[in-house]
Amino acid sequence: MDLLQELEWRGLINQATDMEGLRQLLNEGKVTLYCGFDPTADSLHIGSLLPILTLRRFQLAGHRPIALVGGATGLIGDPSGKKSERTLNPKETVQQWSNRIKEQLARFLDFDAKENPAKIANNYDWIGSLDVITFLRDVGKNFGLNYMLAKESVQSRIETGISFTEFSYMILQAFDFLKLYQTENCRLQIGGSDQWGNITAGLELIRKTEGEAKAFGLTIPLVTKADGTKFGKTESGTIWLDKEKTSPYEFYQFWINTDDRDVIKYLKYFTFLSKDEIEELERKLQEAPEQRAAQKALAEEMTKLVHGEDALKQAIRISEALFSGSVSELSAEEIEQGFKDVPSFEYEGEEVPLVELLVMAKIVPSKRQAREDIANGAIYVNGKRVQDINAVIAKENRIEGRFTVIRRGKKKYYLIRYK
C-alpha cells in the first residue's frame, strides 16, 4: 500500500480536497505538510493524538511535517465544534501553554532526521506583529461575508451568537496556511473533520494570493465511541498526554478498557502495528474475546508510545498487583498512581486499632460491623487478609511510611494516607 492507501485502510481519511491530485503530489517526492495545535490548556489530550500520529505517518513515509503551535490563534479561540464563546486566556498563560505543547509534540516527531526533519513553528511569530490595517487590506479583503457565513463553524453559532473575534478565526488560520506555503513550500494541511471550513479557507486564500497554486487539504475523522460517550473522557476526567495530569497507569487502563466494538478501529487509528498484525488481533477478538488480546496490545502500544517502555512496565506491574491483590509489592509512587481515584483517609498518629481505623475512615459504619468483617475474613491490609479483631495498624503496615491499602471484600479499596 502507498501512504494514502494505508490511511484509507486505517479509516484516517474523512475528506480530501483533491485525492488524485494529492496522490500525484505525494508520488512526486517529499512534501511539506502541517497541522495546527492551539494551546487551550497546559497539555494536549488524547483527542490530539490522531492528527499528531498522522503527521508521524507522513514523516515515516518520507515527507516533512510541521507542527504549528497556535500561540496567536490560541489567544482568539476557534469556534469549530463549540456551542459557545471560548474564554480568552492571558497572553502569558497561552505562551506558557505553547511551550509545554512544543515539548509534548517533540516526543512524536523526529526533528533530527537527515532527509526530512520535522519542524515546530508558532503562528505568533507572524500574526503577533501583524497590524490591523495590513491584516484587513492584505488578508481580510480576500474573504466575502457570504463565503464566511456559509462555513459550518459559523452557521452553527449564528443563533447562539458569535463574536467578531471568533468569526475572524478562520481568516487567521487561512493566513497560517498561506504563510507556510510561502516560507516553507507547505503544500498540505491536515486536521480534524471540524477543521474542514478553516482548511478550505486557507486554500482559497492561497489561490487568490498565489494564483493557480498546488495546495491540498485533508481531514481526519473525529474519534467516536460505540457506546455514545465522548472519546478521551472517563469518570475521573480527561485523559491527558502529561503524566502529571494522567498517570501512565491511568493511561494504560483507559486503553485496556476499550469496548470490543471499538478496539480494532483504535488499533488502526492509533498504533503503528501492521495490517497483518491488526488482522490477527481481530481474529483473536472474534474467537476468544474474553482474553482481550486486542485491548492488551492497544494499551501496551499506546502507553509505550506516549510514556515510554519503563512507564509501560510500571503500569503493567500495578495492574497485575491490583488484580492479584499483592499490593505490598508496589512502591509508594505506584500506590499513588494505582489508587488515585479510590476513597482515601488522612491519619495523623502512631498505632491505631484496625477496628477504629475502619470506622474513622468510613470503610464500615460501626465498630460492630468492623469486627464482623474482620472475623469473616473480608478485610485485607496491604493485600493480606486480617482476621484478628484486636489487630493494630502500626508503622510496619505503612508502605514507605506513606500509605496503607485496605480492601473490603473483593474489589472495594481504600487508601490511608499518613501526614
Please give the annotated binding residues for ATP, written as ranges: 233
DSSP H or E segment with residue 201? helix 196-210
User: What digits encode the pLDDT tens for the residues 306-341?
Assistant: 999 999 999 999 988 888 778 888 899 899 888 887
For residue 193, which phi and psi values (nearest 5 degrees)?
-60, -25
The pTM score is: 0.84
Tell me the chain's radius of gyration from C-alpha atoms: 26
DSSP H or E segment with residue 344? strand 344-347
Residue 306 C-alpha from the chain's centroid: 9
Handedness of CA 218, 223, 226, 227 (dihedral sign): negative
State the pLDDT at residue 346: 93
Please give the annotated binding residues, written as ranges: 34, 169, 173, 233
Cα separation of 206 and 140, whole Å? 13
CA dihedral 303, 111, 103, 52 (to 10 degrees): -50
Handedness of CA 196, 50, 232, 237 (dihedral sign): negative
C-beta separation of 317 from 334 below 8 A: yes
State the pLDDT at residue 192: 93
Identity at 363, one-letter amino acid code: I
State the pLDDT at residue 156: 75
Dmax over Cα atoms in the chain, in whole Å?
Answer: 86
Please give the annotated binding residues for L-tyrosine, written as ranges: 34, 169, 173
The closest alpha carbon to 188, from 29, 325, 354, 22, belongs to 22
State the pLDDT at residue 86: 61
Which domains does the chain carry? 3-220 (3.40.50.620), 233-324 (1.10.240.10), 344-418 (3.10.290.10)
> Per DSSP, which regions of 24-131 are E strands?
32-37, 64-69, 119-122
State the pLDDT at residue 151: 76
Question: Pairing state of beta strands 64-69 and 119-122?
Answer: parallel
Beta bridge partners, 345, equal 416
Residue 29 C-alpha cell reads as 517526492
Q: Which residue matches cell numbers 491483590?
A: 325
Cα separation of 174 and 198, whole Å? 6
Residues with pLDDT less than 50, the chain? none
Question: Pairing state of beta strands 216-220 and 186-192?
Answer: parallel
Q: Which residues of 287-314 are buried (b: 16+ CB within 10 A; e: fewer)?
A: eeeeebbbbbbbbbbbbbbbbeeebbeb
Extract long-range pairs of 4-10: CB within 8 Å, 24+ residues apart: 6/57, 6/275, 7/54, 7/57, 9/268, 9/275, 10/268, 10/269
State the pLDDT at residue 83: 63
Q: Which residue matches cell numbers 489487630?
A: 391
Whole-number Cα distances in Å, 314 to 82, 146, 267, 301, 337: 37, 55, 22, 14, 10
